[in-house]
Amino acid sequence: MKRLEPLVYVAVMAILGVALIAEGRRTTELLAHQAVTPKALYALLSNPQVKVQIVDLRAYDDDHYVDTHIPGAIPLPSCDETKAPESARDRVYPYVSTIIVTDTGDAAAFEACRAKFGQARLLEGGMEGWSNANLPEDTGDYAPPKNAAGGGCL
């Protein structure tokens, strides 16, 4: 009986590990289909302990990203690295929780880009929803954040 105990223990741990991985994948998939509201995103960004990146899929021009964007958002037009400014290309991390911004919360653009990220959610209403909620906006070209204590984009 003593020789079976380690085998039973390993089997139970393996089963629990598989169940945990399956639940994590299921949760990630469910969250991907639940858009985050602008006010909820603002609350997330206000918490320095939460790590989230904002990826803006809108065109990088005077009518879109350069005109107005969420502070700290990384421009990645059409989810194509070659269309992003040089300084933004190495700032997009696929393993960080990501909020994807479009003009109006376009689900098709989100679906086309979401596979690049482990955890991604769409901003409900897109940049239009953020603006309509009267939340802080930034203008101008993308500037990578400075490495300094405190951080935060808002």
Query: pLDDT grade, residue 153 (50/70/90)?
Result: low
Nearest to 65 by CA among 96, 95, 102, 33: 102
Q: How do residues 88-138 score in pLDDT, each as one tens digit?
A: 998 999 999 999 999 999 999 999 998 899 889 999 999 999 999 999 999
Sign of CA dihedral 121, 125, 127, 129: negative
Task: Average the pLDDT over 74-81 and give the result.
Answer: 94
Residue 152 has pLDDT above 90, yes or no: no
Task: Decide: helix, strand or coil at residue 82.
Answer: helix
